[in-house]
Chain A
Amino acid sequence: MTAQTSNSHFSGGFRDPAIQSSHVFRAAMTAMARPGEIKPITGATPPEGLSIAAGCLLLTLCDPETSLYLAPDVDHPAVRDWITFHTGAPFVPAQDADFAVGGWAALTPFDRFRIGTSEYPDRSATLIVELPSFDAPNAELSGPGIKTRAEITLPDIEVLQANAALFPLGFDTYFTAASDICALPRSSRIEPLLMKEG
C-alpha cells in the first residue's frame, strides 16, 4: 500500500478505467444498497495517506464536475496532485463539497456538510471516511436494503443517528479501511449494539 510513495502522482491510477471503474462502481452500488455489507475494491494505488479503497472510490466517482473537500489529515501535496491528475476534481471548503475524504476526527464538525434541500435531497455530500478497520462492530442497522438487521463499525453513533434523523435530508457515508468499503446511507436507522454478557 505504501510502495508507490516514491513514484510520481502520474502513477497509481486505473490501468483500464472503463472496466475497473465498472467493477468498483458495482461494489460501491451494492454496498450503498445493502448498508453495513463489506465489499472489497481494488485497482488504484493512491499515494500514502489515502487507502486503496478511498482511492478507488475517488477515481470512480469524481471528475471535474464534482467538488471535493480534503480533511486536514489527508490534505498533503502528494494526495492533491494525485487526485488532480487522475480526476480533475476541484478542491473546495467543506460546506461546498460533493465529496469529502478524511479520517473521522479530521472531518469534524459534521454540520458543515451539505444535506440537500427538501426539494432536492440529492444535493448532499457523500463522505468517504477512513477507518483503521471494520472488525469492531458497535452498531446495528435496520431500514431500506437490510433484510432484518446488519452490524456495522461506526466511529460515532450519536452524530450519525442525528444525520439519519434528518431523512430524507442528510449526507451519505462510505467507510473505507485498506481495500474494503462499507456504506451508511442516510436512510438507515442506527441502534447501539448491546454487548453480549458473559
Chain B
Amino acid sequence: MSDYNFAYLDEQTKRMIRRAILKGLAVPGYQVPFASREMPMPYGWGTGGVQVSAATLTPEDTLKVIDQGADDTTNAVSIRKFFENTAGVATTEETEKASVIQTRHRIPEAELSEDQILVYQVPIPEPLRFLEPRETETRKMHALQEYGLMHVKLYEDISQHGAIATSYAYPVKVAGRYVTDPSPIPKFDNPKMNMAAIQLFGAGREQRIYAVPPYTEVVSLDFEDFPFEASKADHPCDLCAAEDSYLDEVILDDAGNRMFVCSDTDYCRSRRDAGHMGRLSEEAA
C-alpha cells in the first residue's frame, strides 16, 4: 500500500461524509449537503462517487467500477487504480464478486444482492434544477412536496412528442416522499432501483449525498394514461444475443451499417463465455 491514509481521505473528512450517508439512509431520497473535498480528478469524473466510496470501503472489500456499464473505459480504469493505490482493496470486473460497485450512469444487468453496495456518480443531484434554478426555491418545493412542475414537464413531453421523451435521468419518487434524480441512468434501469443492495449517491461539485436503502419503493413518475415504460433499443445484442440487456449503438462504417452491443461489458462477456452467439460473433472472433 501507499503512504496515503486508508482510502485517500483524512479521517475527519470521512467522518463528515459518513454522517451525511447515515442521514441520507434515514431520509431516503433527500439530498444531504456535505462539505465535498477537492479530489485528484476533475469534477464530472466522479468526485462525489469517489468520496462516498472512500468513506464506505473497508480493506476486505472487492471493488468494481463501471462507466456506462463498461469496466474498461478511462474513467472506470482510473478510479479502480486510484483505490488499488490508496486503499489497497481487491478489484474485479465481475459483478457477482464485487462488494462495492461504483457506477457512472448504469445499473449492472446482474441482480445485486443484499451484501453489495452500489455507489452512483451524480452530476446534478437536484431533479428540479432545470425547472427551477434557485436552490432556495427547490428546497421549499421538496419541503412542501410541491412536485407539480415535474408533472408539467412530463406532460409537455407528451404534448410535443406524443410520449414521455425523457430517456435518462428519469425522475423517481423514493419511499413515497422525495422526488429524486436517479443520476443519468437510462430509464431502462429505473425499475432495477427496487433492489436488495444499498444505493448511495454522491455529487461532488454540487456537494450532495443521498441514499436509497434496500427494498425501498422507487416509483418512476408517470400518468395513468401514459404509464412509465422502461425502453431500450429493440434488438438483441450482436455479440451475445441477449434480449434483456441495455444496448449501445455502434456505427460500423460510412455505409450506415451499425451494431448493437450490451452496455454492460461484464454481462456480455459472461454470456459469450457461456457460449451465446450474436449476429456478429463470427466476425468479432
Instruction: Please give me the 6 A-B residue pairs with the lowest Cβ-Cβ distance, nearest first.
Output: A145-B213, A185-B26, A18-B6, A118-B143, A122-B23, A144-B216
- Min CB distance A118 to B, Å, is 4
Residue of B nearest to A124 (CB): B23
Size of chain A's interface in residues, with CB distance under 8 A? Answer: 39
Residue of B11, B59, B142, B217 with most chain A CB atoms under a 10 A cut-off? B11
Q: With contacts A26-B56, A33-B198 known, is A145 near B25, CB below 8 A? A: yes
Verify A186–B25 contact, CB threshold 8 A: no
Q: Does A180 contact B (CB under 8 A)?
A: no
Interface with B: A57-65, A102-110, A153-161, which one? A57-65
Q: What's the Cα separation between A172 and B59 when bound, in Å?
A: 28
Size of chain B's interface in residues, with CB distance under 8 A? Answer: 44
Q: Does A34 contact B (CB under 8 A)?
A: yes
Which of B5, B19, B143, B177 is within 8 Å of A61, CB to CB? Answer: B19
Verify B18–A25 contact, CB threshold 8 A: yes
Verify B175–A119 contact, CB threshold 8 A: no
B-side interface residues toward A, CB under 8 Å?
A: 5-7, 11-12, 14-16, 18-28, 30, 32-33, 55-59, 139-140, 142-144, 175, 177-178, 196, 198, 211-217
Verify B213–A34 contact, CB threshold 8 A: yes
9 contacts between A and B (CB under 8 A): A22-B57, A25-B14, A61-B19, A126-B22, A144-B215, A147-B214, A168-B177, A187-B28, A187-B175
Verify B5–A18 contact, CB threshold 8 A: yes
Q: Does A72 contact B (CB under 8 A)?
A: no
Residue of B nearest to A62 (CB): B15
Contacts of A60 in B (CB 8 A): 15, 18
Q: What's the Cα separation between A172 and B32 when bound, in Å?
A: 15
Q: What's the Cα separation between A167 and B178 when bound, in Å?
A: 11
Contacts of B19 in A (CB 8 A): 61, 66, 98
Q: With contacts A26-B58, A122-B27, A168-B178 known, is A65 near B22, CB below 8 A? A: no
Verify B12–A63 contact, CB threshold 8 A: yes
- Min CB distance B45 to A, Å, is 24
Contacts of A145 in B (CB 8 A): 25, 213-216
Contacts of B28 in A (CB 8 A): 144, 187
